Structure 1
Amino acid sequence: MSDPSNRPAWDAPHPHVLAVDVTTAHIDLMQHVNNVHYLQWLENVAWSHSDSLGMRQEDYTRLGHGMVVKRHELDYVAPALLGDRVLLATWIVGLDRLSTHRRYQFVRESDGATLFRGATHFVCVEIASGKVRRMIPEFAETYGRAVTPWPAV
């Protein structure tokens, strides 16, 4: 993205960004990326961000706790098309004793257009029982360091 006028206008400062190239495997009957891929991209960029913060899937297993989706909000703004490079951005906007709140913005690299915005509410669960539990200190510390202030979550 060499043209500075095409730089993404991110909704939050310094989001975690992961790039994905749209291939024929992503395209549906309508000739754009099928909605199910956006959901997979949410998970991919969230794990990438978590990994970058030092909290990996194997840490969830070791700690016996994990963060699971309670609710997604998905807003499709414009279609992603075959050949597009899409920049998947995420950031954490809130954390409380049980949960984290994460936001997303997907942008087409070539023109900086926002294609998608989303939000996820995660809750902490004990893996063995599947029951919601108070966030363990390791999660609160790791994810708490990454919170970007945001209007009402």
Structure 2
Amino acid sequence: MGWDRATPFVIDLQVNAEDIDGLGHANNAVYVTWLERCAWRHSQRLGLDLVEYRRLDRAMAVVRHEIDYLAAAYEGDELQLATWIVDWDQRLKMTRHFQLIRPSDNTTLLRAQTTFVCIELSTGRPKRMPPEFIEGYGVALMTSGILTD
């Protein structure tokens, strides 16, 4: 697969009939849903699921999406969406990159970047990342080769 970076976290997707818009391809809003699904599954794999977020009274909330739609996806297409945590300040902010590929022709359909800010769930206000976030998300950075000792 032609991933942009090493060691991606990857989920498989299939374009369903309800994903198709009036132009005959997957609607742009569906792509945002897929980005969210991929980020959540990656966080869960790192041990940072919704139960843990609630226990810690913290969450990573989206503050910015940047999406480049490069090619269309059509009903029945089988896709793979990858994510990498590429930057963080170990306090408030974290950035993920995404790449969506159609393996049948190795076409990259989308590249995106999402910026998250750590918030306190009980107030909705920005709040420093707890040690569990630094440990869990730090593992993802280390395996991506971006964070080094």
- Give 1:103-118 correspondences, 5 Å limit: 103-118=97-112
Shift of 1:109: 1.7
- Match status 1:93 vs 2:86: yes
Cα distance in 2 for residues equivalent to 1:56 and 1:134: 18
Superposition pairs of residues 1-153 of structure 1, within 5 angstroms: 8-96=1-89, 97-147=91-141, 148=144, 149=146
Q: CA deviation at 1:49?
A: 0.6
Distance in 1 (CA, whole Å) between partners of 2:106 and 2:46 is: 26
Task: Write the letter of the residue equivalent to 1:68.
Answer: A
Q: CA deviation at 1:14?
A: 1.3
C-alpha distance in structure 2 between counterparts of 1:92 and 1:110, whole Å: 26
Aligned-pair CA distance for 1:135: 1.2
Secondary structure at the counterpart of residue 62 of structure 2: strand
Deviation at 1:43, TM superposition (A): 0.5
Q: Give aligned-pair identity as a percent.
A: 46
TM-score with structure 1 setting the length = 0.91
TM superposition shift of 1:84: 0.4
| 3-state DSSP of counterpart to 1:32 | coil
CA distance in 2: counterparts of 1:111 and 1:140, whole angstroms:
38
* Residue pair 1:95, 1:140 contacting (<8 A) in 2 also: no
Render the CA deviation track for 1:65-119: whole Å, top value 9, x for unaligned. 1000011101100000111001011010011111111000000021110000000
Structure 1, unaligned runs of 5 or more: 1-7
- Stretches of structure 2 lacking an aligned partner (at least 5 in a row): none
| Partner SS state of residue 140, structure 2 | coil
Q: TM-score, normalised by structure 2?
A: 0.93
> How far apart in 1 are the matches of 2:118 and 2:2?
32
**Runs of 4+ with deviation above 4 angstroms:** none
